[in-house]
């Protein structure tokens, strides 16, 4: 996983064929925003963005169109953090994937970043130039399973299946789960989800509800 740094903003705008004025405005507002907060990009939360947007019209005589541009600039740069998501690069199938990031994990990641100040990779390997590989992640996962008393042989990929299954059991639409897992086909998503027996037992037969309604009508 690579950290999005401020220097990435200019080439990203150029790649989107943004005009010269738009590029300069976006860079200006984001620099001004970080200067206003006094925080690093990795510490930005929704409250900082709201405070800055209140600060602008009260302290700078900007036109409405300029304020709208400031909002778009912040959404462009802080969007992933504002929505509390993160993306990670994958070589196969050569596209970015997105997942949800909980508040608790976000807090831990910020504390980790403050302590270690990683530059290129959020979780660098021993030589700092490469990221930790899947084998390292698997070893950490196995140690966590041992501490939790899980004796079953499981791979770290099972977390992905569990994540999808819990979402499904909590009533999340299969289409959203498909998007989070990065699947092109909903069939693949269905294969990656398992519904527990406990969840199945909670499902009521539609006939029961219809009978209940009919019975109440007769009594009434």
43-96 pLDDT, tens digit per residue, is 777 778 888 888 888 788 777 778 888 888 887 766 544 444 444 444 444 455
Looking at the domain assignment, is residue 102 inside a domain? no
End-of-domain residue from the set 82, 116, 141: 82
On the question of pLDDT at 31 being above 70, the answer is yes
What pLDDT was estimated at residue 42? 66
More confident residue, 210 or 36: 36
Pick the closest to residue 196 from 172, 171, 165, 174 (CA basis): 165
Looking at the domain assignment, is residue 37 inside a domain? yes
More confident residue, 112 or 81: 112
CATH number of the domain residue 27 falls in: 1.10.150.130
What pLDDT was estimated at residue 83? 47
Which residues are CB-neighbours of 8 under 8 A, at least 6 positions away?
none
Rounded to 5°, the CA angle 156-119-137 comes to 10
Averaged over 23-32, what is the pLDDT?
82
Looking at the domain assignment, is residue 209 inside a domain? yes
More confident residue, 199 or 67: 67
Averaged over 104-112, what is the pLDDT?
85
Alpha-carbon span 48 to 37, nearest angstrom: 7
Alpha-carbon span 43 to 106, nearest angstrom: 9
| Highest mean predicted confidence (pLDDT) among 9-18, 136-145, 165-174 | 136-145
Of the pLDDT bands very low, low, confident and very high (cuts 50, 70, 90), residue 8 is: low
On the question of pLDDT at 211 being above 60, the answer is no
Looking at the domain assignment, is residue 27 inside a domain? yes
On the question of pLDDT at 192 being above 50, the answer is yes
pTM, two decimal places: 0.42
On the question of pLDDT at 117 being above 80, the answer is yes
The domain total for the chain is 2
Alpha-carbon span 77 to 12, nearest angstrom: 10
What pLDDT was estimated at residue 35? 87
Looking at the domain assignment, is residue 39 inside a domain? yes
Asked if 4 and 80 touch (Cβ cutoff 8 Å), the reply is yes
Residues above pLDDT 90, as percent of the chain? 3
Looking at the domain assignment, is residue 128 inside a domain? no
Looking at the domain assignment, is residue 118 inside a domain? no
Looking at the domain assignment, is residue 145 inside a domain? no
End-of-domain residue from the set 59, 82, 105: 82
Domain membership of residue 75 as a residue range: 6-82
End-of-domain residue from the set 82, 99, 133: 82
On the question of pLDDT at 206 being above 60, the answer is no
What pLDDT was estimated at residue 190? 59
What pLDDT was estimated at residue 184? 67
């Amino acid at each position: 996983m690579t950290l999005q740094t401020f220097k990435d903003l200019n080439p990203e705008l150029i790649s989107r064929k943004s005009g010269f004025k738009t590029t300069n405005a976006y860079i200006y507002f984001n620099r001004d925003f970080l200067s206003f907060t006094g925080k690093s990009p990795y510490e930005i939360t929704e409250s900082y963005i709201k405070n800055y947007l209140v600060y602008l019209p009260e302290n700078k005589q900007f036109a409405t169109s300029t304020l709208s541009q400031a909002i778009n600039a912040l959404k462009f740069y802080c969007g992933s953090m504002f929505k509390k998501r993160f993306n990670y690069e994958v070589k196969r199938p050569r596209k970015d994937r997105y997942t949800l990031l909980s508040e608790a994990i976000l807090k831990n990641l910020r504390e980790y970043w403050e302590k270690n100040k990683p530059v290129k990779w959020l979780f660098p390997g021993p030589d700092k130039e490469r990221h930790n590989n899947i084998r390292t992640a698997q070893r950490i996962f196995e140690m966590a399973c041992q501490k939790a008393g899980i004796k079953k042989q499981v791979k770290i990929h099972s977390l992905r299946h569990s994540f999808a299954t819990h979402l499904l059991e909590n009533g999340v639409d299969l289409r959203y789960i498909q998007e989070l897992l990065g699947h092109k086909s909903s069939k693949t998503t269905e294969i990656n989800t398992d519904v527990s027996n406990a969840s199945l037992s909670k499902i009521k037969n539609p006939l029961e509800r219809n009978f209940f309604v009919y019975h109440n009508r007769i009594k009434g």
